[in-house]
């Protein structure tokens, strides 16, 4: 297959996205696909893609493509402030020629449904769920509302907005410690655990650097887990034990900073319950193809679903590759499987009504 692996972009998760994209592209080429790696925002070089040439060459230097993407890293904020068009040079043209686009994007302008909606209008096939469910899952406030309506257990929370007075924890039925997090952030960027009023106000101030809205959430003390849902079925549960602090950006992407156990050391009943909640969460949000859900288990055994990730990380330390490995799938197998389940949504949409 001719495949464009899209990565990079403008979000706070740009660096991680590039690593995901590199690994995906290398895996797909090892499987015989003509995959190329492209930065969705910075585009492809005119020197190569400006002429009518084979966009999907038989031989290809993935590392060189990655290096080209990094040339723009320091200029992204300035470029974003000056440009009106999000898609970089040659991106839409090359994607339109691909059999499928593998989305290695994370965070805003990639995981929030905007790219997916554009591709739907242009008839470009892509991996992962559709535009609406992407948008719903990206907004943690909406996610929580849909979880509650569909009886998916999730911590109590209240919304906070830059232009309003900080919500009273007592009136919201909360008490310290609480978690303050950006409403639409990812990779635990802009997440703070606070224990007093001063820290609470500071955390809100820091969260508003990223967005105008934040979520103040009940702090669940206990064990951390994650569960991928692929084609409607939950993968093995993985437990995450940070060696210090909580599972923040540094611990997620620094090798050796966490102990990750898969399958998690849970009873069969606990495993089945968490997997069932993950599957229910995917159904509540209308997620197709694949996604990943973050969980906390309290000290008294309560299970709480925190949020959904519609384009999970695909780096060497990412969770879904570890869950797949527990099923006997290597990284190349997983990439092939994610393409397979993503293509199902296009076949489904073409099926005539009975």
One domain, residues 7 and 27: yes
Whether 131 maps to a domain, the answer reads no
Residue with tokens 């900080």: 166
Q: Cα separation of 283 and 112, whole Å?
A: 18
Q: Cα separation of 33 and 186, whole Å?
A: 30
Q: How far is CA 48 from CA 10, 55, 154, 165, 197, in A?
A: 23, 9, 49, 53, 56
The beta-carbon contacts of 47-56 under 8 Å, at least 24 apart in sequence, are 49/89, 49/90, 49/93, 49/94, 50/90, 55/2, 55/94, 55/97, 56/2, 56/3, 56/97, 56/98
Whether 197 maps to a domain, the answer reads yes
Q: For position 184, what pLDDT does the model report?
A: 82
9: domain CATH number?
3.40.50.20
Residue with tokens 């969460």: 281
One domain, residues 6 and 80: yes
Q: Cα separation of 60 and 310, whole Å?
A: 29
One domain, residues 17 and 105: yes
From 126, 148, 176, the end of a domain falls on 126
Q: For position 185, what pLDDT does the model report?
A: 66
Question: Which has the closest alpha carbon to 69: 51, 45, 104, 93?
Answer: 45
Find all residues with CB under 8 Å of 12, minimum gap 6, and list them. 107, 108, 185, 186, 187, 189, 190, 210
Question: Which residues in the chain land under pLDDT 70?
Answer: 51-53, 185-189, 244-256, 349-354
Domain count, the chain: 3
Q: How many residues does the chain have?
A: 354
210: domain CATH number?
3.30.1490.20
Whether 137 maps to a domain, the answer reads no
Which tokens is 164 given? 């309003």
Q: Cα separation of 244 and 250, whole Å?
A: 10
Whether 269 maps to a domain, the answer reads yes
Query: Could you tell me whether strands 258-261 and 238-242 are parallel, antiparallel, or unpaired per DSSP bridges?
Result: antiparallel
Q: What is the DSSP letter of 352?
A: P
One domain, residues 17 and 113: yes
253: domain CATH number?
3.30.470.20
Q: Cα separation of 167 and 182, whole Å?
A: 15
- 268 prior amide bond cis, ω within 30: no
14-30 and 62-70 helices cross at what angle (nearest 10)? 170
Tell me the residue range of the domain where 22 lies: 2-126
One domain, residues 258 and 194: no
Q: Are 130 and 310 in contact (CB under 8 A)?
A: no
Q: Centre a 10 Å sphere on the Cβ of residue 257 and count the other Cβ atoms it contains.
A: 16
One domain, residues 207 and 301: no
Residue with tokens 């820091």: 206
- Backbone torsions φ then ψ of 296, nearest 5 degrees: -125, 140
Q: For position 195, what pLDDT does the model report?
A: 96
Q: How far is CA 280 from CA 258, 277, 287, in A?
A: 28, 5, 10
One domain, residues 22 and 71: yes
Whether 320 maps to a domain, the answer reads yes
- Residues facing residue 223 across a β-bridge: 297
- Burial grade of 2 (CB within 10 A; 0-12, 13-18, 19 or more): middle
Q: For position 349, what pLDDT does the model report?
A: 58
Question: How far does the chain reach from its first CA to its final CA, in angstroms?
Answer: 32
Q: For position 28, what pLDDT does the model report?
A: 98
How far is residue 85 CA from its own chain's centroid? 23
Q: For position 251, what pLDDT does the model report?
A: 44
């Amino acid at each position: 297959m001719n495949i464009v692996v899209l990565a990079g972009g403008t979000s706070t998760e740009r660096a991680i996205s590039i690593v995901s994209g590199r690994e995906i592209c290398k895996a797909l080429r090892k499987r015989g696909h003509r995959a190329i790696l492209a930065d969705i925002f910075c585009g492809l070089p005119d020197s190569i893609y400006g002429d009518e040439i084979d966009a999907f060459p038989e031989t290809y230097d993935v590392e060189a493509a990655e290096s080209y993407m990094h040339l723009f890293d320091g200029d992204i904020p300035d470029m974003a402030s000056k440009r009106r068009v999000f898609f970089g040079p040659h991106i839409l043209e090359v994607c339109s020629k691909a059999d499928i686009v593998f989305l290695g994007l994370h965070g805003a302008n990639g995981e929030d449904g905007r790219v997916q909606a554009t591709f739907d209008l242009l008839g470009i096939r892509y991996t992962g769920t559709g535009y609406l469910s992407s948008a719903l899952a990206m907004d943690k406030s909406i996610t929580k509302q849909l979880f509650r309506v569909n009886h998916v257990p999730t911590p109590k929370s209240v919304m906070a907005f830059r232009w309003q007075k900080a919500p009273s924890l007592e009136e919201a039925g909360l008490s310290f410690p609480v978690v303050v997090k950006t409403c639409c952030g990812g990779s635990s960027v802009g997440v703070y655990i606070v224990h007093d009023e001063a820290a609470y106000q500071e955390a809100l101030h820091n969260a508003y650097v990223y967005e105008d809205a934040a979520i103040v959430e009940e702090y669940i003390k206990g064990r951390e887990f994650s569960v991928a849902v692929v084609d409607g079925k939950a993968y093995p549960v993985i437990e995450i034990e940070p060696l210090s602090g909580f599972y923040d950006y540094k611990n997620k992407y620094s090798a050796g900073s966490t102990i990750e156990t898969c399958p998690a050391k849970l009873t069969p009943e606990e495993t089945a319950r968490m997997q069932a909640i993950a599957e229910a969460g995917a159904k509540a949000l209308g997620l197709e193809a694949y996604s990943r859900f973050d969980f906390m288990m309290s000290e008294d055994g309560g299970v709480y679903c925190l949020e959904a990730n519609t384009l999970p990380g695909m780096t060497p330390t990412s969770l879904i590759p570890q869950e797949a490995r527990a099923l006997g799938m290597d990284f190349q197998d997983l990439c092939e499987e994610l393409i397979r389940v993503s293509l199902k949504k296009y076949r489904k949409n073409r099926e005539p009504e009975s």
